[in-house]
Amino acid sequence: MTEALGSTATPESGRPEDEETTKRGRRGGKRAKKGPFGRLALFYRQIIAELRKVVWPTRNQLSTYTSVVIVFVVIMIGIVTVIDYGFNNAIKYVFG
């Protein structure tokens, strides 16, 4: 028989390669060794590391994106206003 791809069992024993991991179980790695303040500090270090990976827009890009969003919102407000006005007049015509 063929085994599934990514199987961790060895052909001769049929058991996982790392028996100690399965016996003891995982206890959280770095988190298990630190107290609550250490975990909080690790959390904030990870946040800062992720923020450094962000590609921030330039001032020109930011103003362009802001203009596009404002124009889109104004157009949507106009469309909703026209639809609301139409429904309002239709209800007045039907009911009264």
pLDDT of 68-95, one tens digit each?
999 999 999 999 999 999 999 999 999 9
Q: What pLDDT is stored for residue 62 in this prediction?
A: 97
Q: Is 41 helix (H, G, I), strand (E, B) or coil?
A: helix
Q: Is 12 helix (H, G, I), strand (E, B) or coil?
A: coil
Q: What pLDDT is stored for residue 50 in this prediction?
A: 95
CA 67, CA 60: separation in Å to the nearest integer?
Answer: 11
What pTM was estimated for this model as a whole? Answer: 0.49
DSSP character string of 60-82: HHHHHHHHHHHHHHHHHHHHHHH
Residue 9 Cα to chain centre, angstroms: 34
Q: Which amino acid is at 75?
A: I
